[in-house]
Amino acid sequence: MVGDSGARLEPMKLLELAALAATRDLDSEELTKLNGHRSGADAALGIHYTRVGPEGVAAELRVGGHLLQPVGLVHGGMYAALAESLGSLAGLVHAGGNPVVGVNNNTDLISSVRSGVITAVAEPIQLGRNTQLLQINMHHEDTLVARTTLRTMVLRR
């Protein structure tokens, strides 16, 4: 996984961090390592994880031009992508070393955002052996702006 630093976070290191997060919240050094090696959608969006632990995952996202649709509002697909990233990481924490993939993403757009910081929290609703259900709430300041219900599937190796 190549991230902001250009260095790779080996898949085993990511799984090690997820295993730690299954027992306790990651500390600041571990979060720095995770955030420093973002890749894919996480890097493109600019997701900054602030909490990863057994009770869920939290992150912040600074709104910039790359997230806006032509009329100047945050693009609705960005909320779905943000939720998928947080929910998938939360699912990975509880998957016993197995990867997880999203199989259903239902995102409700509640209020619009033009600038600032969006905070998001993913919390498990149901954690099964094969599937997981998570709820992700996204806020701007004190306003709920989007809510996602994400179903993930655990891939057995």
CATH of the domain at 108: 3.10.129.10
* H and E: helices and strands count for the chain: 4, 6
Would residue 4 count as lying in a domain?
A: no
Say how many Å lie between the first and final Cα of the chain, rounded. Answer: 19
Would residue 43 count as lying in a domain?
A: yes
Would residue 6 count as lying in a domain?
A: no
Q: How many domains is the chain partitioned into structurally? A: 1
Would residue 2 count as lying in a domain?
A: no
**pLDDT at residue number 15:** 86
Type and span of the H or E element at 154 = strand 143-154
Would residue 61 count as lying in a domain?
A: yes
Of 16, 30, 55, 84, the catalytic one is 84
**Phi/psi of residue 26, each to 5°?**
-65, 145
Q: pLDDT per residue over 42-101, tens digit each?
A: 999 999 999 999 999 999 999 999 999 999 999 999 999 999 999 999 999 999 889 999
pLDDT tops 90 at residue 123: yes
Residue pair 136/151 in contact (Cβ under 8 Å)? The answer is: no
CB atoms closer than 10 angstroms to residue 151: 17
Mean of the per-residue pLDDT values of the chain = 93
* 84 is annotated as an active-site residue: yes
Would residue 118 count as lying in a domain?
A: yes
Range of the structural domain that residue 74 is part of = 11-154
Would residue 65 count as lying in a domain?
A: yes
- In this prediction the pTM is 0.91
Closest C-alpha to 136, from 157, 113, 155, 152 = 152
* Tokens read off for 125: 């609703």
Enter the DSSP assignment of 156.
Answer: P
Residues in Cβ contact with 84 at an 8 Å cutoff, skipping those fewer than 6 apart: 41, 102, 105, 148, 150
